[in-house]
Amino acid sequence: MKNVRELAAQVLIASEKKFVDEALEVHRGAALSRRDRALLTTLVYGATRWRRELDWLIDRCAERVHPEIRQHLRVALFQIRHLDKIPRHAAVNEAVELAKGVSKKSAGFVNAVLRKAADLPLPDAIGVRTSHPDWLIERWRKRFKPKELDAILEADNAILPVTVRLKDGAAIAIKGDPTEDERYAEEGFAVQDATSMKVAPLLDPKPEERVLDLCAAPGGKTTHLAQLMGGKGRVVAVDLPDRIGLVAESAKRLRLENIECVAGDGATIAFREPFDAILVDAPCSNTGVLARRPDVRWRLREKDIAGAVGIQRKLLDNAARLLAPGGRIVYSTCSLEPEENRVDLPGFRIVKEELTLPTDQCSGGYQALARRE
């Protein structure tokens, strides 16, 4: 059986070139027990989430750090400073042993850094204390009240519950890996954040309607729409060729036969017949889901937001072209940014819109219902 902390360091190294959840998925099934898989996820997400704080501690104690050794230090320091159930000496000793695999000299170096960094007081800098990039904090400071900002920063570092949507629409929280829950194979069990569950009901699809999900993968909202329609009518799910298969898999597992999957670009795809209702769950900066996607805070740059807005605009324009007279569009994002959370379509009226801020129970996001007049 592989060493969990060694695997965590390997995943963190791999996540420099790919999303952390993708890097983690490669190793999550590496002959690990259920308990070790849970620990691996905790270590990887925790070291990623608290990276700025951890690196500040490391850099106060060492000038030059080998990239692999830095990952071992991050994993160990995260355990020491953020996990109560792992003894300090165990975290230090484990990191020292793993460092020997890099070089014999590294063992003493790791030992010295950890013993010094473990009790260092943090600076007053809010970016270090909450492990967020300064540019994002300053951006939010201009829009949110101090208490709101503090709450968002705290929520971004929370361990959110795993919520699932049942066939009857009820939402429940479960513990552990949802795929190992005996109810996972049952019809109607879908993992979905509580904020995400607001989107499909806002569109309020009817059994007799033609409904379009223009950015459907991985399929949580698509299957929700299909269930709300009682398995009747038609939900056409569109996404890029390398992603649309995820929707098909979800539809098959939930035994939903009123979903038609189409590979294509939601910004340009055309259909002969118009749709009664369209969902545009647009790609975005993801600043509302930093608790569930902790690496986003380190990948995202402020200029990326403007790029996302351009894509969102094209998706909305195409949705308007595909919509029947009197039809409705729901536009949603996982973003907190005002540039991304705007529906400005000629001939449309905003019926309802809501910005949900992240909490320790759910992610943040934006939803708006627009009707063609």
Quote the radius of gyration of the chain (alpha carbons, Å): 23
Output the CA angle 199-201-204, nearest 5 degrees. Answer: 120
DSSP 114-146: HHHHTTPPPPS-HHHHHT--HHHHHHHHTTS-H
Residues 272, 322 contacting (CB under 8 angstroms): no
Residues 247, 220 contacting (CB under 8 angstroms): no
SS3 of 275, please? strand
From the list 204, 201, 5, 187, the residue with the least C-alpha distance to 96 is: 5
Listed in sequence order, the DSSP H helices in 274-301 are 296-299
Residues involved in catalysis: 334
Contacts of 192 (CB under 8 A, 6+ apart): 163, 164, 165, 171, 220, 221, 224
Dist. CA 272–CA 277, nearest whole Å: 15
DSSP 2-30: --HHHHHHHHHHHTTTS-HHHHHHHHHTS
Which pair of structure tokens corresponds to residue 201? 């009901």
Residues 98, 9 contacting (CB under 8 angstroms): yes
Using the Cα atoms of residue 219, residue 224, residue 230 and residue 234 in order, give the sign of their dihedral. negative
Burial call 91-117: b when 16+ CB within 10 Å, e when fewer: bbebbbebbeebeeebbebbeebbeeb
